[in-house]
Structure formats: structure tokens, C-alpha cells
Structure 1
Amino acid sequence: MAAVAVVGALGLGGDRADEGSSAPPRSGSTVPVTRTTLTERTTVDGQLGYGSEMPLPVKATGTVTWLPAEGTTVKRGGTLLRVDDRPVVLLYGTLPMYRELGLSSGAQQGTRQEAGSQGDTQGSGAKGRTDGNSGAPDPSGSGSPTPGGAEAGAVGTGAGAGRSGDTLRGMDVLQFESNLAALGYTGFTVDEEFTELTARAVKRWQKSLGLPRTGTVGIGDVVYSTGKVRIGHAGVRLGSPATDDALRYTGTSRKVVVNASAAEDSWAVRGAAVTIGLPDGKSVKGEVASVGKSATAPEEGGGEGDSATPTVPVTITIKDQKSVGRLESAPVTVEYVGRERVDVLTVPVAALVALAEGGHGLETADGRFVAVKTGLFADGRVEVSGSAVREGMNVRIPE
């Protein structure tokens, strides 16, 4: 629930408060009318975390034989889980794995002998490493899958590769080859064509994972994500069949989600700067990244103070992740700028007096009362205007 950070205090004027009226000076401090910029800041509640968990598009079939610990970060080339003791590997990309990648059956027959004789020589540089490198540093910093599944077979052959003798082509090939090269397995041209050289690199990669060197990538062997992921809740147990909801994940950057009132969400504009208040009293900078398009009605059965206003989720990112420390989940506050008045005359709110005939006024240092029109209240000050108000004049703060 929003709470405007402004406190008003009004004193009482004399029996007559017309502009220019005089009265004996009263005790109390005086302050000058100053020209400044007033900014209204509003605070709302939020929740620090990693955002909503989403299911990983696991397409491997079989029995789940290994799962990572919740909270684990997996990078490109790292193992997400094992199904039938075969690793399901994370790669980066936006196109989902929708078909098997490999040489067509005709091309496979023509190169089987050559690939078999050269595979060991070209694959020796990997030395069974699991970071996806062939003697080159791993630019992705991926984790190390546990070797295993050496006796497991490939998932089919040639599916989706077209007619016999044809070469497999497509954007999915380009995406896969880009990942293979980023992991250090080179010797082929990164393009939309899966060639014999691509297959040889795949065999070296498969050897590092402890898999049979088939040169073919099954539809369930990899999962694509736009970047590294943080493992969330597992939807299955060890020994259970792999399902679409076998593993859930989030991004690796902490963010804040605010359920903002749909009636007061004008501040929630993508790119808007906010200040996040942490439980330890420190403040960090944030930026609105996204605003939900669907309002959600409040849950029934809340307390008397609960608002019945529908809310929309507002996601706020934190650029400086180190500023959050080790916190992974915590209630926080989010302060944003509401209205702003630039270059206006202001006085402390405590300087306002209530005039007998209505409205507000100020008491001058010599005891006169002048009527003023009030504007924005913010930061303990109030915008004032009127023909008798000028910058620098001293006004009294009533006791």
C-alpha cells in the first residue's frame, strides 16, 4: 500500500487574516521563503528475489538419474540434469531444440570409416574434459558434468535431416554450431549447414561428456536458454520419468517485484529510476524493467486494512548486484518519484497557518498575515504562491 512521505502541520491564525493585517509579533523562529524544486516520493512494498520460476523445456525421455541442487547456477556447456545417466546440456539461444541434428544417412555411410579413424586423433585434445573445451579456454565458464552414460545410445538417427544424401540446414544448425564453437570445439564453418566437419566436432564434444561418439545430437540432448540459469524447484524425484516440468529455473540476477495498484501505476514506466530500501537500512538503485499487462484481483479473506484495488506486477532490475550483498530473498521497499514541481517558492509545512475565513496563510516576521495558495507537499515543505509572497521574505513558524 502506497504512503506519501509528507507530513503536514497547520497552526491557527488570528481573528482577522486579510493580507496586510497586523498583530503584535509573537515568539517563534522565522525562516525565509526559498525557491527550489519539490519532488514527491512514494514508497511501496516489494519482494527481492530471482523472479518467477519457469519450466525448462526438457525433451529427454527416460528415468531421471541426477538432479542439481536448488540454487545452482548452470552456464553454457553445463549439465542441467541426467536422464538414463545421459547429461542434458545447457546451450545458449532462443530457438528451441525441435529436431535431431546430424548428417543425413547417405552422408553418414560415406564418412563413417573416415570419421572413425580420425575421431580419436581429433578428439584427444579434449582429454575427457567436461567444460566443452578442446585445449582452449572455456569462454562460458561452464560447470563440469559428471562423466557417465558411456553405454547409452543416441536418440534415433537422421530424423528431420531431409532426404537421403541431403545436408541438414537451418537456423537451428547455426545456433548449435555457434555454441559448439564457443565451447572450444572448432574445425568447421559456423553457418546454417551441418557438415562432416561439424559431425567430427560433435564427436569430440560427446567424448568429453562420456557419451558414444555418434556425431548426432538428439532432440533431448540439449536445452536452450538465453543465458546462464539458476536452478529452481525440481518437479520430479530421482527415479521418476522425465517430464516437461522436471526442472524449473530463473535468471541469475536478483530483482524486485512490486504488486503495484493498477489505479496508481503511472510511475511504472520502463526505464524509470527507483530507490530500493533493503532490510539493513541501505539503499540501492533500481530500474523498472517490465510492467504486467493484466491486473490481478486481491485475494479474498484478507484483513480489514487490505486494499481491494487490483494490482499489476512491476519488475525492477538491479544493475549493481554486489550492492545487494548476499541477500537472495527479502521484503524491501521501493521509492519512486511521483509529481515534481521545478523552481517554485516553498516554505516548511509547519509555517502554514489556517486563516479564519478559510484557506492558508503565512505570518510575516512583523506579525502580518498574508494569504497563500498551496501546491505540492513534499519532503516537509510546501509550494506556496500569491501576490504578497516573494523569495527571501521571512515568515514565522508558530509555536
Structure 2
Amino acid sequence: MRKALVFGGAGVLAIAAAWTALSVTGDGSGSTGAVAARSGPAATAPVERRDLVDTKTVQGALTYSGEREVVSGASGIVTWVAKEGAVVRRGRPLFKVDRKPLILMYGTLPLYRALQQGVSDGPDVRQLERNLKALGYGDEMTVDDHFSYATRLAVEEWQDDAGLPETGRVDSAQVVFLPATARVTDAKIEVGGPSSPGRPALTVTGVRRLVHVDLDTEDQALARKGAKATVELPGGERVTGKITSVGTVAESSSSGGQDGGGSGEGEGSTVDVDITLVKTPKTRLDKAPVEVELVSERVENVLAVPVEALLALREGGFGVEVAEDGGRTRLVRVETGAFGGGLVEISGEGLAEGMKVGVPAS
């Protein structure tokens, strides 16, 4: 059985136990048999052969990709800070200390050492040179791992235009490397306040919008990388998205589940799920609450009955009451599989498409 696809099993058990007290007669082995001295069920439903797919709506938050912290590399007094919500691109300052800017450049390697003529070759040199070229400096400079005299001249020209001392030396007080354009989400420093090396200055993100969900681990089978999801944004706008990241480490949560469906008692656990939207939403709000409709993997060509057809058996497990000609019925033990659309996948001895099973009268 596809146990990973059995969602809401506890709820099914509660439904089955609530409306029936039937049990397998005889030796209690769970074999099928006739139910004696019993009229047919009050209502029936057909055993269908069909595909099943389950959906579940959970709570998420509309946010931005790639949150990270920017630290200061300079000592002095803060004289300017980019506003929260500001989008900063390559070559532009994030903040200024003593009127000297910290400039954003693109790259994945942190500026872990000062770069100047005479340093050993390395990928950090290539990263700096690539940015200088992109900003229009260093016509005679070759982009490689070597900090040459031409690199120094390009640095000095850039420093002059940026309002930095023309030293030909680049350090963490002048440049921070981030993967791409940055959006300021939180300023931890303020104009007139102190700055010191290593002090947290800003929280930034990328500019790509995404939806983040802290998904209950019991629903993890709903989150498959590459699977589609539908997101309802504030104001009712609905957009489609694709699951681009599923966490592999469960984190404790005392909220009882994102979707409010938990008991709220004790601690559960969640995994991080990120969903990339196919179009940019109109709202620019960060951390805005959204509803996310997740869809399970489709199970094809299975026998299915309404969930309420399941009977809780005294010795454990489930059965269905099969209606036969002449008003007789027989109880068949079944194994359950996937759930979807109010139906449940079943398998059991002698079951076939078109049979009728008992359900509670409406």
C-alpha cells in the first residue's frame, strides 16, 4: 500500500468508528463472510475504478528569496543607510560610514581578505575583476585569478568615482559580495549611530518573490520538488507556483501545525517548503499570509469507495459491507490506500468495480 499517500487516516478511523459497531464474526481472522439476520444497508454507493488525487490547503507566507545578513567592515559613524524596501544593484551603496560607502558587488565568495597588487592568485580576484568590468572599468585588465597592475588602475578609477580613497586596495569596509540584486528588509544600524567591523548592519533578501510554508511532517508527501501548487494571495488573487525546495531536516514547532488542523497540544515538527510563483504578484508586502493548495501524487486506476463506507473492525483495521442480491450483505476486510475527493482506495478479496457497499443514510 502507498502509505505515504494516506492522508487524514486518523479522521477516517473516527468517521468509521462513529457510525458503525460492526465486527467480523466467527474466528476473528478477518475473512469475508455473510452477515446473518440483517437487512440490506439503508443506502449504498458503488465501488468505482478511477484515479485519486488529494488536496490540502495550508498556511504560508509571501516573502523574498535568499535572506541573509550584511555586517559592517568599517569603524566610525553611520552617515547614510538604504531604506527598508530599497532595491540595491551592483555598484550602489548599502550604507555609508564617515561618508564612505559600502558598495554591493555580485558574487558568491565572501571578501575574506584585502585584495591588492601582490596578493596570491585566487577566485576572489577573478570575482572582483568581473565586477569591475561589468561596471565599466579596466579596459586593459584581463579577468583572471591574478591581481595585476591593470587591476590596480581599474580599482583606483572605480574608487575615485565611488567616493572612496584611491588606494588600489579593496577590503570589507568598501565592498560586500552578494549573489545578486539585494532588497533591504531590516536596518540594524541608524544614521548617527556607531559602526564597527563585524557588527550586523542590514538584513537583505533577493528580489525574487516566493512563498514559504512550514509544512507539518505528516503532510510531507504533499510536497514534492517540481510539483505544482496554487496560492491565494491577500485580496483573493490566485496564482500558480512550483515547489522549488523541500527541507530535509524537521524542525520542532509548538503551533500544532501550519494549517490549524492540529490539536495545538504539545510540539509537532515541520519541514521548510519554498514555492516559486509563475508570475510576480501585485502586492509588495513582505511576510504577507497566504493560503497554499498542495496536491498529492495522482494514484491511477484503483478501486475506490466513499470514505464513509469504511467500517471500523473490532479487532482492528477496516471493512466494507457489500450488498448482494436478496437483501443479504457480507463484510469484507479491506486495506486502504490513497485518499482524495472524499474517496478512499481499497483492496480486498472478491471486490470488483460496480459492486455496492453500504454507507450511512443521509
Could you say whether these structures have the same fold, taking a TM-score greater than 0.5 normalized by the shorter chain as the test? yes
Q: How does 1:97-116 map to 2 (within 5 A)?
A: 97-103=111-117
Q: Distance in 1 between matches of 2:177 and 2:46?
A: 64
**Alignment TM-score, normalising by the size of structure 1:** 0.67
Q: Distance in 2 between matches of 1:328 and 1:177?
A: 34
The RMSD of aligned alpha carbons is 4.1
Cα deviation for residue 223 of structure 1 reads: 0.3
Q: Distance in 1 between matches of 2:304 and 2:271?
A: 36
> Is 2:221 aligned against 1:259?
no
Does the C-alpha gap of structure 1 residues 267 and 88 become closer, same or farther in structure 2, counting only changes over 3 Å? same
Cα contact 2:41–2:323 (8 A) shared by 1:
no
Cα contact 2:186–2:203 (8 A) shared by 1:
yes
Residue 129 of structure 2 aligns with an amino acid whose one-letter code is E
Asked which structure has the greater CA Rg, the reply is 1
Q: 2:146 aligns with which of 187, 193, 198?
A: 193
Q: 1:169 aligns with which of 99, 111, 121?
A: 121
Q: How does 1:1-399 map to 2 (within 5 A)?
A: 4=8, 8=15, 19=34, 31-50=45-64, 53-103=67-117, 161=118, 169-187=121-139, 188-243=141-196, 244-261=199-216, 264=218, 266-267=220-221, 271=225, 273=227, 275-278=229-232, 279=234, 280=236, 282=238, 284-287=240-243, 289-291=245-247, 293=249, 295-296=251-252, 298=254, 305-323=263-281, 325-336=283-294, 341-351=299-309, 359-363=319-323, 367-372=327-332, 373-376=334-337, 377-393=339-355, 398-399=361-362
Does the C-alpha gap of structure 1 residues 31 and 308 become closer, same or farther in structure 2, counting only changes over 3 Å? closer
Post-superposition Cα deviations, 1:311-370, rounded to whole Å, max 9, x if no partner, equal 344141314242575443222344445686542211223455789999431335864424
Q: Distance in 2 between matches of 1:233 and 1:332?
A: 22
Does the C-alpha gap of structure 1 residues 276 and 208 become closer, same or farther in structure 2, counting only changes over 3 Å? same
Cα contact 1:351–1:362 (8 A) shared by 2:
no
Q: Percent sequence identity over matched residues?
A: 34
Residue 278 of structure 2 aligns with an amino acid whose one-letter code is D
Does the C-alpha gap of structure 1 residues 182 and 353 become closer, same or farther in structure 2, counting only changes over 3 Å? same
Residue 203 of structure 2 aligns with an amino acid whose one-letter code is R
Q: Distance in 2 between matches of 1:12 and 1:312?
A: 35
Post-superposition Cα deviations, 1:165-200, rounded to whole Å, max 9, x if no partner, equal xxx633221110011112232411001122222223
Cα deviation for residue 221 of structure 1 reads: 0.7
Q: Which has the higher strand share?
A: 2
Question: Is the partner of 1:246 in helix, strand or coil?
Answer: strand
User: What residue ranges of structure 2 are gaps of 5+ in the alignment?
Assistant: 1-6, 26-31, 256-261
Cα contact 2:222–2:297 (8 A) shared by 1:
no
User: What residue ranges of structure 1 are gaps of 5+ in the alignment?
Assistant: 104-160, 163-167
Question: Is the partner of 1:331 in helix, strand or coil?
Answer: strand
**Greater mean alpha carbon deviation, residues 46-55 or residues 246-255:** 46-55
**Alignment TM-score, normalising by the size of structure 2:** 0.73
Cα contact 1:257–1:313 (8 A) shared by 2:
no
Does the C-alpha gap of structure 1 residues 52 and 228 become closer, same or farther in structure 2, counting only changes over 3 Å? closer
